[in-house]
Amino acid sequence: MKRILENIESQFEMFQILNEKGEVVNEDAMPDLSDEDLKEIMRRMVYTRILDQRSIALNRQGRLGFYAPTAGQEASQLGSHFALEKEDFILPGYRDVPQLIWHGLPLYQAFLFSRGHFHGNQMPEGVNAVSPQIIIGAQITQAAGVGLGYKKRGQEAVAITYTGDGGASQGDFYEGINFAGAFGAQTIFVVQNNQFAISVPVEQQSAARTIAQKAVAAGIEGIQVDGMDVLAVYAATKEARERAISGDGPTLIETMTYRYGPHTMAGDDPTRYRTEETDNEWEAKDPIVRFRTFLENKGLWSEEEENEVIDKAKEEVKAAIKKADEQPKQKVTDLMDIMYEELPAFLKEQREEYQEKESK
């Protein structure tokens, strides 16, 4: 039995295109991206890093509520998103706000989501997504259903869902990938293995050497990817999308990545469970530094271009938080009105009471 397990695990070696020095180590796997595509990916990663820094500062100032830092995971998040089309449907976890923003969610609404304002959860027309899921892994079964819906309608689109390594320990994870496999749902499951479920290291979450190998039990494709390598993540996601819409079933993608900051800004202290040595090891793999080196060697990127993106991000964050501040305060009657198409009788009286209080 041990030999069988070893044989299975050996099939899930990490897929990589760029090494830590920004060198191409897998020429055959290089995706067909134009120079402008490569630069756009870099712009998005730099912008998102600045957005993360500003969001942390805003949280500390009391201007944002719940916030889960994203620095270190840009390649995993944005490389996968760049492989999607507008019609694809995103079911994110709470750390996956960047994908929603690049999918079309206005930045000021992302800030409202952080504050718990209902308008932050209202996706604009044409943005195929749901608001970030706070319950760990609950979006995974939903993604299987959305992917099955696409298949039944004959649409060339996929559902993609994101969770962390901790999410892969949830029952919803196994139910979701099993359902998707059984019915051939057009779904991509991305597990961003950032090594810790809050403070619990991945080694204590599962005896499996990889999360990707869990795909075997569900009868679906699985791949482990270097989550600090944006080109590898893009290539794996693009292939998974093509596989899904061609009728060859769903894919489980495990991205090996790292979050530099705390789990959330709600009091988590990563120094209590992570060592400085581990932090330094992963910072040497930084996705932005790696991709910057690759682009500079191709003559496609400069410090001037990067500074332009940084300045743009700072200005847009400033404008977005101002717009969020200007939004009407959330009222109890708002929640009642958006919860039901027709208000139940037992709530109508309560609504009248609250409306009277709110008018004073």
67 is a catalytic site residue: no
Selection from 228, 230, 250, 232 nearest residue 241 by Cα: 250
Catalytic one of 115, 273, 351, 354: 273
Angle (CA) 86 54 20, round 5°: 70
259 is a catalytic site residue: yes
Catalytic one of 81, 95, 241, 263: 263
- As a whole number of Å, the end-to-end CA separation of the chain is 72
Instruction: Spell out a b/e string for 297-320, using b for 16 or more CB atoms within 10 Å of the CB, else e.
Output: eeeebeeeebeebeeebeebbeeb
Q: What are the Cα distances from residue 319, in Å, to 98, 312, 315?
A: 17, 11, 6
* Ramachandran assignment for 241, one of left (phi > 0), alpha (psi -120 to 50 degrees), beta (any other): alpha
Helix, strand, coil % (nearest 5) of the chain? 55, 10, 35
Catalytic one of 259, 274, 290, 292: 259
273 is a catalytic site residue: yes
Please list the active-site residues.
Answer: 259, 263, 273
